[in-house]
Amino acid sequence: MESLVAPTPTETRLAGKGQREALQRQSLVANVPFDNIGPTVMSGRVVDLDVNPNDPTEFYVAYASGGLWKTTTNGVTFVPLFDDEAVMTLGDIAVDWENGESLWVGTGENNSSRSSYAGTGIYHSTDGGATWTHKGLAETHRTGRIVLHPDDSSTLWVASLGPLYHASEGRGIYKSTDGGTTWTQTLFIDNNTGAVDLVIDPGNPEVLYASMWHRERRAWNFVEGGEGSGIYKSTDGGDTWAKQTTEASGFPTGELVGRIGLTVAPSSPETLYAILDNQNRRPEDDDEAEEGLTRDALRTMTKAAFLDLETEQVETYLRDNGFPDRYTADDIIEQVRSDELTPLDLVDYLEDANQQLFDTPVVGLEVYRSEDGGTTWERTHDDFIDAVYYSYGYYFGEIRVDPTDAEKIYIMGVPILKSDDGGATFTSISQPNVHADHHALWINPRRPGHLINGNDGGVNISYDDGETWFKANVPSVGQFYTVQVDEAEPYNVYGGLQDNGVWVGPHTYRHSYTWYQEGDYPYDRLLGGDGMQIEVDTRTNDIIYTGFQFGNYFRIEPEGRSGIKPQHELGERPLRFNWQTPIHLSRHNQDILYFGSNKFHRSFNRGDDWESHSGDLTQGGSAGDVPFGTLTSIDESPLRFGLIYVGSDDGLVHVTQDGGYTWTRISDALPQDLWVSRVEASNHAEGRVYVTLNG
């Protein structure tokens, strides 16, 4: 599927701000006050920090979709500064600390995950964030970095990453010499290569380094590297650029070079570090070769060769690969003998886009060092750096060097690591109260060991170089995928959060510091991972259905929890589950649960057993490393049992009037090939349904 809907023009999106404000003024509930009920144990994903070097108790925090916040109390309290603008998703911030009232904000997150959203360009404030002026670059979509000239407040540079899902001429490095009134694009590679990082020589503002990143994201696939990726240097203030990472430089080149992060050592400006997501495959290690029966062997194995295997070999393969217990070696051997199955079916049963995404033996994270201003590079470490990037290096890419010690560096991923020997060896400085995914770090140039860290859970601060951390997660800016309520008295509110699990708490809670003294936070965490859709059996309000990404759902009861994910049958291709898999508990009989993969599934016994009551209700999926061609939303009419609507990520809406036995497509008159984000059956008119679509 290569049908791509063009992104909404920024002019239209900016005009939407006024439309939204008018609707709010006219709303029936315009004068009903809203109360913040939390939760705030975690905040949301931090994308950048900017700290006052003269008074580190004052700093700004930019959130992926929570705007800009400021503290003057070392994170004890924060105030929001960007709530009234047209967009809340940020990519980078820059503060002129010589004139602390001058703030720059680059909108559009520079990460490239599912929950990363486009911005509307660059904004500037001259009064500490009280008011903002839009400074252009609206069609760049995403800001990799903003760099301010240290001596000339009118000169600044912006690294633009460009749109996430589309080719664009708006990518590259931009320079302004008139305070953002006009911009010149000084570095452009191609329509799929954007600028993700930009650093300046602290002793010579004529010297800048930029990292360019080729990436092509689709809903069904992610190309994470390309020929356009590389490091560029300017010696004339960003007017012209030369590629540093040539084949002779020692830095990887080619179509599998992924995201690159940069840092310059202030104590030794010719010393640079680069962190790379290397998408090249790892060389095969004979010492780590799989033993026993393998997928690769089964791919080409003949029927006769399979029947010559020992029963124990087949049984070991089944158990090691997580096949359900109902599949036994004896049964499968007989089914192969009778041609009901083939050896390849034992491979196809396991392999889907999710497996391709996470079971990918790429080189992954690497750290390189240059001591001659980027002309030549050398990898700092001998071995692979495992368990930091996994297969999603596109989500990270930040590296920092201590301002006073060129040998001390920090790299961010899952978790955060530090090195005291120039990257030869690394140790983790993550702690139990610190979120695992890291995106920002400030190092105090005047107090060794003082760190401020931004991650998927908010802000943490350390004064002992990461041995211990405390939370500064006051802002309620978590990214909620979904919200649900029960019918308890008082009723509870449930939320599925990006990378912060599923939480539940009473709607009567009001955000305050009281819980610090009481020692009992009113919200409880039900699950980890990315928190997804939630259904509550309101007969008792203590049976909850929820889960994390790709359909891994559970029934949670007072006595424990049980996995409820539908399974395909041996001989069938794996089911395709959306990142946010839809579930729906029938309002007519709450023992009946509906579940969506690329098919519609129904359980009459609360998820213990499943029946598939449809064929493929999508356009059939697309080849790639991300599950696509999946259902995204399910809703049953509260007025009639069995009247059910489903929507898919590739633009289809279907209805059944008999509980799933027969289906009719009803989306042909809608805009095509969009993402159905919600279907909602009317509470008042049978046969009326509402549908929301995303491009």
Within 10 angstroms of residue 613's Cβ, the number of other Cβ atoms is 18
Whole-number pLDDT of residue 357: 58
Residue 190: DSSP 8-state: B
CA distance 689 to 695: 20
E strands in 253-300: 257-264, 272-281
Domain edge (last residue) among 452, 471, 490: 471
Residue 395: DSSP 8-state: G
Domain edge (last residue) among 418, 452, 471: 471
CA distance 35 to 511: 8
598: containing domain: 480-694
Same domain, 147 and 276: yes
CA distance 401 to 416: 13
554 CB contacts (<8 Å, ≥6 apart)? 527, 545, 546, 547, 561, 562, 563, 564
CA distance 154 to 111: 28
CA distance 530 to 533: 10
Sequence-separated contacts (24+) of 687-692 with Cβ below 8 Å? 687/643, 689/635, 689/645, 689/653, 689/655, 691/647, 691/653, 691/667
CA distance 552 to 38: 26
Assigned domain for 234 exists: yes
Same domain, 354 and 382: no
Same domain, 192 and 226: yes
Assigned domain for 1 exists: no
Same domain, 343 and 401: no
Whole-number pLDDT of residue 287: 52
Interior CA angle at 435 toward 432 and 440, to 5°? 130
Domain count, the chain: 3
Assigned domain for 257 exists: yes
Structure tokens at 126: 């001259």
For residue 148, what are the β-bridge partners? 156
Same domain, 230 and 291: no
Q: What is the tens place of the pLDDT at every residue in 567-578? A: 999 988 899 999
Of 244, 230, 14, residue with least CA distance to 134: 14
Using CA atoms of 238, 244, 245, 250 in order, give the dihedral in degrees to the nearest 10: -150
Residue 461: CATH number of its domain? 2.130.10.10
Rg (CA), the chain: 27
CA distance 402 to 274: 14
Same domain, 344 and 368: no
Same domain, 625 and 675: yes
Identity of the residue numbered 63:
Y
Q: What is the tens place of the pLDDT at every residue in 197-255? A: 999 999 999 999 999 999 999 999 999 999 999 999 999 999 999 999 999 999 999 99
Domain edge (last residue) among 313, 339, 358: 358
Whole-number pLDDT of residue 288: 53
Q: pTM above the 0.85 mark?
A: yes
* Under 8 Å between Cβ of 498 and 65: no
CA distance 265 to 54: 20
Length of the chain: 695
Same domain, 345 and 373: no
How far is residue 136 from each of residues 156, 164, 327, 446, measured CA to CA in Å?
13, 19, 60, 36
Same domain, 499 and 619: yes
* Under 8 Å between Cβ of 190 and 230: no
Helices marked H in 58-133: none
Helices marked H in 78-229: none
Assigned domain for 7 exists: no
Assigned domain for 22 exists: no
* Under 8 Å between Cβ of 645 and 630: no
Residues of the chain with pLDDT under 70: 1-3, 285-290, 353-360
Assigned domain for 227 exists: yes
Helix, strand or coil, per DSSP, at residue 631: strand
Burial class (CB in 10 A: 0-12, 13-18, 19+), 689: middle
Same domain, 521 and 426: no
Whole-number pLDDT of residue 513: 82
Name the strand (E) or helix (H) holding 402: strand 398-402
For residue 231, what are the β-bridge partners? 211
Same domain, 531 and 673: yes
Same domain, 97 and 218: yes
Assigned domain for 636 exists: yes
Assigned domain for 676 exists: yes
Our measurement of the distance from residue 390's CA atom to the centroid of its chain's CA atoms, rounded to an integer in Å, reads 14
